[in-house]
Amino acid sequence: MARKRIALIGGGQIGGVLAQLIAQKELADVVLFDIVEDFPQGKTLDIAEASRVDGFDVELRGTNEYKDIAGSDLVIVTAGLPRKPGMSRDDLLMTNAKIMKQVAEGVKEFAPNAFVIIISNPLDAMVTLFQKVSGFDSNKVMGQAGVLDSSRFSTFIAWELGVSVKDVNAMVLGGHGDTMVPLIRYANVNGMPVMEMLERKYNDAAKAKEVMDAMVQRTKMAGGEVVKLLKTGSAFYSPASSAIAMAEAILKDEKRVLPTCAQLNGEFNVDGYYVGVPTVLGENGIEKIIEISLNEEEQAAFDNSVNAVKSLVEDMGRLGF
Ligand code: APR
């Protein structure tokens, strides 16, 4: 079997961790692209020089030219700027939309058959723009948000219940913002409902609800919590790990059931927008969107999140993208 190749567009914090994880897992050869001269070359050289001690053998190449991503099976995009003090949401949207448009044009020209996972924020708008500019089939263009948001939710549940995080299954749907929808009713520990476990722990339904509401709130604000602590940037280890789970599912045809920012064409009663939903990821990218029933409260929260995504995409349209 020919070796796989992954191109990483953006060689900053997340891009660097992505390159290291791909190498350590020997998932694929890596091309790390960044506009800053010498920077991606420095990062890939550094990672390659750990190959003997870590015992991996993949090709790692840094570049400032799009032509070097030719032949990539998968592209992961982290190019973009984080919000700086004094910058409005529109300013960030404008700046990153310009970058994403360039990226989509570069990928379209040099890696037209690749699957694409977008991580850059504002996520739902950036995925929408990439798909529009590239014209790639929607099963091939997706965003990473739900895997991370769900992992954060699961981590908080595990800490609260004092159980292994490996046994916690919890999912977050909707847009990648304050309106995201952690699904409380479906959260479970090896099949056992988390709410029931909380009620037994506290022997008090109201207290259990209060504890769950606090975990839901922390999940929604989890990105900001890390930013506040780091002070110099946003989360990068966990977003990188989350995108790798998606990349592995596609390249190894794992048929994993993961929440993905996917284009909806009628599913969940949404038409033409990218929103986080449960999907099956395999060799054809997004192979299936799994529709699940939502109760009234969940549906209202989901609709609210979809509306936030719509207004973000409309804002982007107003800015000329
Ligand atoms: N083309 C390619 N790369 C670019 C471009 C461009 N036009 N413009 C900027 N970059 C590069 C920067 O040079 C930088 O190395 O994108 C990289 C971004 O890296 P960081 O600033 O370290 O950001 P990171 O923490 O990796 O996050 C990247 O993911 O989670 C989101 O909100 C986050 O949008 C941000 C993105």
DSSP string covering 215-262: HHHHHHTHHHHHHHHHSSS---HHHHHHHHHHHHHHHTT--EEEEEEE
318 phi and psi angles, rounded to 5 deg: -60, -30
Q: How many CA atoms lie within 13 A of 245 on its CB side?
A: 19
Q: 10 Å Cβ neighbour count for 94?
A: 17
Q: What is the CATH number of domain 5-143?
A: 3.40.50.720
Instruction: Say if ligand 1 is within 6 A of residue 278 CB.
Output: no
Instruction: Say if ligand 1 is within 6 A of residue 14 CB.
Output: yes
Provide the token pair at 214.
Answer: 């606090």
The predicted model scores a pTM of: 0.98
Domain locations along the chain: 5-143, 145-321
Instruction: Say if ligand 1 is within 6 A of residue 238 CB.
Output: no
| CA distances from residue 250 to 76, 169, 302 in whole angstroms, order as listed | 12, 21, 27
* pLDDT for the residue numbered 83: 72
Do 30 and 59 contact (CB within 8 A), yes or no?
Answer: yes
From first to last of its 321 residues, the chain has per-residue pLDDT tens of 679 999 999 999 999 999 999 999 999 999 999 999 999 999 999 999 999 999 999 999 999 999 999 999 999 999 999 777 777 777 889 999 999 999 999 999 999 999 999 999 999 999 999 999 999 999 999 999 999 999 999 999 999 999 999 999 999 999 998 899 999 999 999 999 999 999 999 999 999 999 999 999 999 999 999 999 998 889 999 999 999 999 999 999 999 999 999 999 999 999 999 999 999 999 999 999 999 999 999 999 999 999 999 999 999 999 999
Do 290 and 158 contact (CB within 8 A), yes or no?
Answer: no
**Fold of the domain spanning 145-321:** L-2-Hydroxyisocaproate Dehydrogenase; Chain A, domain 2 (3.90.110)
* pLDDT for the residue numbered 233: 87
Q: What is the Å distance from ligand 1's center to 7 Cα? A: 14
